[in-house]
Structure 1
Amino acid sequence: MQKPLEFPITPAVLHQPRGWVWRAIGRVYLRLAGWRIEGTFPAEPKFVTIVAPHTSNWDFALGVAVVFALELRVSWLGKHSLFQTPLRRFFFWLGGIPVDRRAAHGVVDACVKAFEGAPARLLALAPEGTRKGVSQWKSGFYRIAIAADVPIWPVGFDFRDHVVRLMPVFRPTGDLEADLPHIQALFNGVHGLRERAGRGTRA
């Protein structure tokens, strides 16, 4: 008999019940696909979550399953074009925030204000910025964390071992060049669905 999956306890401030059906969908998906979740949530009520590596659209499906399974209140940034489709209501319901990459000047300020106006917030970002192969990470997540004075929570989607890795928080010092190598090193051994070489940073 297969051992039931164990799930970390979602903090009350980040708990968003959506009904047992959605919770069951998330947990059944993870079970059937062979995924497990390892680690715990940060003690802090506010943090920037970076999810990596991002190599496939299946990353989004896995993320949704985790959100449903844990009944998690989450905010995330997505291309504005996603919110112009018939699924726009669903994306907003999931906590999506549309971003026009052609006019991204105010994104950091908007995210900081969102943190200031909420007692708790989990803002999830893909530091690579795209599922296409890139040699450098974008630094937007770091600038948001510094400006909002919140820690960074690294979460790895390891498709080789089918593990969602909830890692300890990283507290940025303000020195981007010094901190980024340490943050990226946390994802060593975390394998995306499509492997690719070279990870650095870019603004």
Structure 2
Amino acid sequence: MFKLICRWGLKLAGWKIRGPVPRYPKYLIIGAPHTSNWDFVLAIATKYSLGLKAKFLGKAELFRFPYGWFFRMLGGYPVDRSQSTNMVEQIVEIFRQKEEFAIGLAPEGTRKAVQKWKTGFYHIAAQAGIPIIMIGLDYANKELRIADEPFWPSGDIEKELPQIQAFFAPFRGKRPQGQKA
């Protein structure tokens, strides 16, 4: 039922999802540009519309009372961004232990403008040997664009990060001033 509500909500708001639905047992989704709280709503609606069982990482503050139960129900894992933890290793281990697992992240790590993306997503995918599914949020065209092919990282981040970022270059966030130029 929630799947139908999400599909209907996206359609009513004029949004379209374009591109192939991921059908891998394990994968990591990155969505960008992340410039607004509405990006989360779109991500959740897309997740349920496509029938994806992906989890997501969110700042720990979201998981406090009174809303923590709601974000956990949607598949959230809290991340304490003030702590220096081995989050990459923890998530890689989850991928190794599970037969099926997917997680979504915003590579910027925040809605604010950043000069440099966080690279944990890349290291997780490379170390776990899983594909990166790239989804561009394009508010200008009301389109969620899934890359035609998954990105399989080789471990050469210096070479590959610019290739990944190039996929997202044409997309405009809700608040374009929050995007890296």
TM-score range, shorter chain: over 0.9
1:137 paired to 2:126: no
Q: Do residues 174 (structure 1) and 155 (structure 2) align?
A: yes
Unpaired segments ≥5 residues, structure 1: 1-19
Q: Deviations over 1:14-62 (max 9, x none)?
A: xxxxxx1x12220121011100111112343211111000000000111
C-alpha distance in 1 between matches for 2:169 and 2:34:
14
Please give the secondary structure, in 2, of the residue aligned with 1:186.
helix
Deviations 1:115-141 (A, max 9, x none): 112111111010000000111111110
Partner SS for 1:160: coil
Alignment size in residue pairs: 179
Provide the residue aligned with 1:195 in structure 2. Answer: 176
Q: Do 2:19 and 2:146's aligned partners in 1 also have CA atoms closer than 8 Å?
A: yes
TM-score (norm 1): 0.84
1:155, 1:164 within 8 Å by CA — same for their partners in 2? Answer: yes
Displacement of 1:70 in angstroms is 2.3
* Percent identical: 44
Structure 1 runs, 4 residues or longer, greater than 4 Å off = none
- Offset from partner CA, 1:145-168 (integer Å, 9 cap, x none): 111111111111111111111112
Q: Bigger relative contact order, structure 1 or 2, given CA contacts below 8 A and separation 6+?
A: 2
Using the size of structure 2 for normalisation, the TM-score is 0.93
Partner of 1:87: 67
Q: What is the alpha-carbon distance in structure 2 between the residues aligned to residue 111 and residue 104 of structure 1?
A: 15
Alignment of structure 1 residues 65-80 onto 2, 5 Å: 65-80=45-60
Deviation at 1:104, TM superposition (A): 3.6
Q: How far did 1:198 drift? A: 3.0
Q: Is the alpha carbon distance of 1:145 and 1:71 closer, same or farther for their aligned partners in structure 2, counting shifts above 3 Å?
A: same
Residue by residue over 1:150-191, the C-alpha shift from the partner in whole angstroms, topping out at 9 and shown as x without a partner, is 111111111111111111211112111110110000112111
How many angstroms does 1:85 deviate by?
A: 2.5
Contact 2:136 2:168 in 1 (8 A): yes
- Aligned counterpart, 2:35: 55
Which entry has the higher C-alpha Rg, 1 or 2?
Answer: 1
Residues 74 and 94 of structure 1 are in contact (CA less than 8 Å); yes or no, is this contact kept in structure 2?
A: no
Query: Helix, strand or coil for the counterpart of 2:130?
Result: coil
> Is the aligned partner of 1:114 residue 2:100?
no
Corresponding position of 1:127: 107
The one-letter amino acid paired with 1:115 is: F
Aligned partner of 1:6 in structure 2 is none
For 1:158, the equivalent position in structure 2 comes to 138
Where 1:56 maps in the other structure, the secondary structure is coil
